[in-house]
Amino acid sequence: MLTERTLTAAFRMAIVFTSTIATLPVWAQSRSPVAPREQQVKAAVHDAYEMYKHDMSGKNADYIPYLAHVDSKLFGIAVVTTDDRSYTLGDTDYSFSIQSISKVFTLALAMKEQGSEKVFEKIGNEPTGRAFNSVVAVVDMPTHTANALVNAGAIATTSLISASSADERWNKILAFYGAAAGEKLSLIDEVYKSEAATNQGNRALAALLLKYDRIYSDPLEAVDVYTRQCSVGVNVKQLARMGATLANNGVNPVTHEPVIQAGDVPEILSAMTMAGLYDGSGGWAWHVGLPAKSGVGGGILAIVPGKGAIAVFAPPLDEAGNSVKAQKVIAYVAGKLDYNLFSPRSVGLQR
Ligand code: GLN
């Protein structure tokens, strides 16, 4: 029963608690109260690594010649939590091209610069149900751009970044990715050259967007900057930190720098849920229930809001262009740790 005395005691405790919080540095105050337990995460990551390390199903992307030659056996996992702990296994220092996972962070930068409503109006957030580079989707979708995570919408999002030259736009994007990762990132020149020589399809998408008045800089220039952003090198640790920045309300948990606007995070995660694994996004939401983004380089980044992020790298892909091994690892770890956002168990409700 609540008596006046217990209420008073509770009130006093609240005051003590509040004043303790008030004396903490700003970054510590914003640390997540639901960051996961170390032992459980370690065990889940270790088991997933052992379980899938010999699984070689899928096939490297080959429409970008460089990617066809990446060692298919490479395999790395990194988890970074919102309270800055990390668990890594396998080829964690190998730098691979971020590819489409970059789209998430260019979207975040565009929202920071232009405001989320303007980005929503200029790009949209509807799934296409088609391949990531579909021309038909550009014709069919009412907005033409569809969403920021398919190629057409991503090229348009890149074109939205304010700059007076392509180089300025590229440098802003690269610096923003670096802030999210907590360290300087750089271009893998060979990937860029390989992709720039073979990206006629993306140039066609940009030209089509111009017809519909849905691209916001010179189309070929936008494709070039987009191709550079896809060629940024990351290892799984850097990628997981970029994800942990999203999970931590936009604040990098390592450097404590506010990189992404907190108010934009739910909208960015909604885009990842709608289209992060392209035409595999529905199956992913059904089975795993976490916002995620894949890249044809073999990386997948999944976000667990308030808790952390999981990045996995393994080059062989399925038909939709998503790393097979990365999907299996994330599904296993997320299942073990009750991370499915659609499940009441993810917030501790047991039955
Ligand atoms: N750079 C790649 C492309 O434009 C990115 C695609 C992807 O990772 N899904 O095709």
Tens of pLDDT, residue by residue over 281-339, are 999 999 999 999 999 999 999 999 999 999 999 999 999 999 999 999 999 999 999 99
Q: Which atom of ligand 1 is nearest to the CA of 132?
A: 9
Residue in 310, 331, 327 with CA at minimum distance from that of residue 319:
327
User: Ligand 1 mean position to 324 CA, how many Å?
Assistant: 16
The whole-number pLDDT of residue 4 equals: 40
| Residue ranges lining ligand 1, Cβ < 6 Å | 99-100, 132-133, 151, 195, 202, 230, 295-296, 321
Per the confidence metrics, is the pTM higher than 0.75?
A: yes
The whole-number pLDDT of residue 32 equals: 60
Decide if 19 is inside a domain: no
Tell me the three state secondary structure of residue 317: strand
Mean pLDDT confidence for 340-349:
88
Cβ pair 100, 194 in contact under 8 A: no
pLDDT of residue 8 exceeding 60: no
Q: For 233-287, how does the pLDDT look when each residue is reduced to its tens digit (9 = 90+)?
A: 999 999 999 999 999 999 999 999 999 999 999 999 999 999 999 999 999 999 9
Whole-angstrom distance, CA of residue 1 vs CA of residue 7: 10
Decide if 280 is inside a domain: yes
pLDDT of residue 31 exceeding 80: no
pLDDT of residue 33 exceeding 70: no
Whole-angstrom distance, CA of residue 233 vs CA of residue 228: 10
Q: For 92-135, how does the pLDDT look when each residue is reduced to its tens digit (9 = 90+)?
A: 999 999 999 999 999 999 999 999 999 999 999 999 999 999 99
- Which one of 96, 158, 296 would you pick to mutate in the ligand 1 pocket, going by the greatest count of ligand atoms within 8 A of its CB? 296
Decide if 29 is inside a domain: no
The whole-number pLDDT of residue 3 equals: 40
pLDDT averaged over the chain?
Answer: 91
Q: Which atom of ligand 1 is nearest to the CA of 230?
A: 1
DSSP state of 34: T
Decide if 279 is inside a domain: yes
Q: 86 - beta bridge partners?
A: 80
Decide if 42 is inside a domain: yes
Number of domains making up the chain: 1
User: Ligand 1 mean position to 295 CA, how many Å?
Assistant: 6
Decide if 54 is inside a domain: yes
- Is residue 21 exposed (0-12), middle (13-18) or buried (19+ Cβ within 10 Å)? exposed
pLDDT of residue 213 exceeding 70: yes
Decide if 28 is inside a domain: no
Decide if 25 is inside a domain: no
Domain carrying residue 69? 36-347
Residue nearest to atom 2 of ligand 1 (CA): 99
Identity (one letter) of the amino acid at 246? L
- Which one of 133, 198, 277 would you pick to mutate in the ligand 1 pocket, going by the greatest count of ligand atoms within 8 A of its CB? 133
| CATH code, domain carrying 343 | 3.40.710.10
- Whole-number Cα distances in Å, 150 to 19, 135, 144, 334: 47, 11, 11, 25
User: Ligand 1 mean position to 332 CA, how many Å?
Assistant: 26
Whole-angstrom distance, CA of residue 44 vs CA of residue 306: 19
- Which one of 100, 318, 327 would you pick to mutate in the ligand 1 pocket, going by the greatest count of ligand atoms within 8 A of its CB? 100
